[in-house]
Structure 1
Amino acid sequence: MKVIQYFLIVLLAGGLWACGTKAEQSREEKPTAQTDDTAIPVKLTKVESVVRSEPVVASGLVSSSEEAKLSFKIGGIIQKMYVDEGQTVRKGQLLATLNLTEINAQVSQAQFSNEKAERDLNRVKALYADTAATLEQLQNATTGHEVAKQNLTIAQFNQNYAQIRSTVDGTVTRKLMNEGEFASAGGAVFMISSTRKNDWIVRVGVADKDWARLKVGNRATITLEAYPDQTFVGTVSELAQAADPQNKLYDVEIRINPGAVKFAPGLFAKVSLQPAQSRSYALVPIEAIVEGNGKDGFVFVLTEDQKHVRKIPVQIGFIDNDKVLLTNGLSGISNVVTAGSAYLTETSTVVLQ
């Protein structure tokens, strides 16, 4: 009986030892299995270098290069306005006139003064010939006559410009005053824009780094919200030599050909300018970019052990279909992570596919 009990005890001890050994082996093997299961499969793509001319994208409004703010030379009451907003006008066409009552009176007054000064001069000349007037009196009479003549010229000039005539062939875009109102000297009454095909322009503002890359004659591609299915071609016609003090941007004028399409001042335009100056870019697939925000983003690259990754900040130049052109951030980097990059952190373990 004792022999049987002893035998059972030996068998039980052996079984417990075997279970403990298996559990210990299981614990030792478990981390390896977890590591293999949690490693994120990734693919690498080679970083290419390309030389391109990065477009400058901006927006602005269509306007005419021949725009005029028309006003009266002198102040007065508007007697008659001959055109309305939106009306087409020709160069030299009469647009408005002032009430001439006061102006005509000033001309008559100047004429009377001039006639009197002329009579006084003739009288003094006769007296001076008879030595009855002094040289000083003759000189004063001569000066008085010349002043009167100039005052008459001024009055007649103002009389001629008591009206507004169009300075260009175009359209009245704004009528700022009406008949019976008092127009001050130089105060705008009409806004006129030329409607000739070669006078349409788009003005946009660009940053200083983009302004430095542009030149007069650079080509531009223009789209208008009014004609979303059409693309227009333009050229840079003027570059501002100083920044706008308010927005700190440099004005760029692009001349645009409307073709057979009807244009009007104020149409919203999106412009893509193509500078002649080129630069070198690092080219990577778009899926390599993570946490993109405007021009800033990040890419993942492998560490030396080929099992971990690190995140590198990059500067985005522009996107070209499924590629991204980077201006900096990948100096000395030959490969970036593409497939699997969206699931990575800097503590991730990876495995190459």
Structure 2
Amino acid sequence: MKTLHLILSLALTVTLWACGSKAERNPNNDKADEAVVPVKLTPVQTVVRAEPVVASGLVSSAREARLSFKIGGIINQLFVEEGQTVRKGQLLATLDLTEINAQVSQAQLANEKAERDLNRVKSMYADTAATLEQLQNATTGTNVAKQNLTIAQFNRSYAQIRSTVDGTVTRKMANAGEMTSPGATIYQISSNRPNDWVVRVGVSDKDWARLRLGNRASVALDAYPDQTFNGTITELAQAADPVNKLYEVEVRINPGAAKLAPGLFAKVTLVPAQSRSYAVVPIEAIVEGNGKEGFVFVLADDKQNGGSLHVRKLPLQIGFLDNDKVLLTNGLSDSQKVITAGSAYLTEESSVVVR
């Protein structure tokens, strides 16, 4: 009898435990315990704008001269130093002319001898003592001697350096008494006229395709932090730089009353004439932003289920920031609404209620 009571007691205990476990695993109870996140919806707007292109570069002169001697030799004198202002045509440097003058004299003597030989052959040809071939050879020899004399005289005239622009000497790369080779730069001169200042920057192929000659630009210089200069695109490279794969853009600056110099660091904002449409959302709608990529949450449907809604996460491409707004290049249409308030607490499994 005691054994029967013990078996009935155990069976009742197991039955009560199973019922309790089933109640705990009831999905309706789970759903009731889920947290519903209150959110706010904001409509997606659309604007048409010309996205600016921002790049950096150095100020330089549009007219820069790298001056050198045509022939090699010993540098005799250098008449200007770095930082000096020079005028177009001003004598800057000379070579030692000892060897060069000797070459000119040698060419003159050779020319005189060739002329004497030609006259002698002409007389002999008139007396039938020389052939036509000899006369032709003497004539050719005289012409060659004259050309050699011209070359020697021309080289002597370029055994000096004269400035080709009005400007400032930015670099001097040799000293008197040094040996220089033909074409080696001795002076670098930058024009200092107000309308010759430019900034050259590199842009990507995507940005290059949107730019046109004459597009406006604004230039900010570290040397003048409280001033912005107006600029205009004057040159667009037709080939990418083989090293950095960027396309060079030249922006001519209007310096106004400011004093500029080569090498000043500049930040350039280029404004292309070609505009495009952008979707605009508040910056607080963006989650997991990383560079040009990000995500937003939108409602998965408009049907409420037990008073709550579901959400889904959409990827998008960020164009640029405009104060508290984000301009998007793709990912949303103007008919959608994005979740702003409460988006930081959401996952794709979250249930929400619109407040």
TM > 0.5 between the two?
A: yes
Partner of residue 70 from structure 1, selected from 41, 46, 67: 67
Q: Distance in 2 between matches of 1:28 and 1:151?
A: 106
Stretch deviating more after TM superposition (315-324 or 341-350)? 341-350
Determine the structure 2 residue equivalent to 1:253. Answer: 250
Q: Distance in 2 between matches of 1:196 and 1:106?
A: 41
Partner of residue 338 from structure 2, selected from 332, 336, 339: 336
1:215 aligns with 2:217: no
Determine the structure 1 residue equivalent to 2:328. Answer: 326
TM-score computed with the length of structure 2 as normaliser: 0.88
- Name the SS for the 1:125 alignment partner: helix
Report the CA distance between 1:234 and its aligned residue.
Answer: 0.5
Report the CA distance between 1:132 and its aligned residue.
Answer: 2.0
Q: Distance in 2 between matches of 1:297 and 1:85?
A: 52
Report the CA distance between 1:29 and its aligned residue.
Answer: 10
1:190 aligns with 2:187: yes
Determine the structure 1 residue equivalent to 2:88. Answer: 91
RMSD: 2.1
1:225 aligns with 2:222: yes
Kindly provide the amino acid, as one letter, of the partner of residue 273 in structure 1.
L
Q: Distance in 2 between matches of 1:332 and 1:218?
A: 30
Is contact 2:45-2:334 (8 Å) kept?
no
Partner of residue 108 from structure 1, selected from 105, 111, 114: 105
Determine the structure 1 residue equivalent to 2:317. Answer: 315
How many residues are treated as equivalent by the alignment? 329
Determine the structure 2 residue equivalent to 1:20. Answer: none
1:87-139 Cα shifts (integer Å, max 9, x gaps)? 11111111111111000000010111111111111111122222222212211
Is contact 2:37-2:351 (8 Å) kept?
yes
Structure 2 unaligned regions, length at least 5: 1-22
Report the CA distance between 1:344 and its aligned residue.
Answer: 2.0
Is contact 2:39-2:352 (8 Å) kept?
yes
Determine the structure 2 residue equivalent to 1:347. Answer: 349
Report the CA distance between 1:45 and its aligned residue.
Answer: 0.3
1:8-33 Cα shifts (integer Å, max 9, x gaps)? xxxxxxxxxxxxxxxx9xx9997677
Is contact 2:86-2:168 (8 Å) kept?
yes
Q: Distance in 2 between matches of 1:175 and 1:92?
A: 18
Q: Distance in 1 between matches of 2:28 and 2:315?
A: 38
Report the CA distance between 1:174 and its aligned residue.
Answer: 0.9
Determine the structure 1 residue equivalent to 2:265. Answer: 268
Is contact 2:279-2:334 (8 Å) kept?
no
Is contact 2:44-2:334 (8 Å) kept?
no
Report the CA distance between 1:50 and its aligned residue.
Answer: 1.4
Report the CA distance between 1:307 and its aligned residue.
Answer: 2.1
Q: Distance in 1 between matches of 2:130 and 2:335?
A: 103
Q: Distance in 2 between matches of 1:111 and 1:148?
A: 8
- Name the SS for the 1:73 alignment partner: coil
Kindly provide the amino acid, as one letter, of the partner of residue 336 in structure 1.
V
Q: Distance in 2 between matches of 1:342 and 1:227?
A: 41
Kindly provide the amino acid, as one letter, of the partner of residue 119 in structure 1.
R
Determine the structure 2 residue equivalent to 1:129. Answer: 126
Partner of residue 140 from structure 2, selected from 143, 147, 153: 143
Determine the structure 2 residue equivalent to 1:19. Answer: none
1:160 aligns with 2:157: yes
Q: Distance in 2 between matches of 1:171 and 1:132?
A: 66
Kindly provide the amino acid, as one letter, of the partner of residue 329 in structure 2.
T
Ranges of 4+ aligned residues in structure 1 off by more than 6 Å: 27-30
Is contact 2:217-2:268 (8 Å) kept?
yes
Q: Distance in 2 between matches of 1:215 and 1:256?
A: 16
Q: Distance in 2 between matches of 1:32 and 1:99?
A: 98
1:200-252 Cα shifts (integer Å, max 9, x gaps)? 11111111111111100000011011111110010110111111111111111
Kindly provide the amino acid, as one letter, of the partner of residue 343 in structure 2.
S
1:203 aligns with 2:205: no
TM-score computed with the length of structure 1 as normaliser: 0.89
Report the CA distance between 1:40 and its aligned residue.
Answer: 2.1
Q: Distance in 2 between matches of 1:208 and 1:347?
A: 41
- Name the SS for the 1:111 alignment partner: helix
1:280 aligns with 2:277: yes
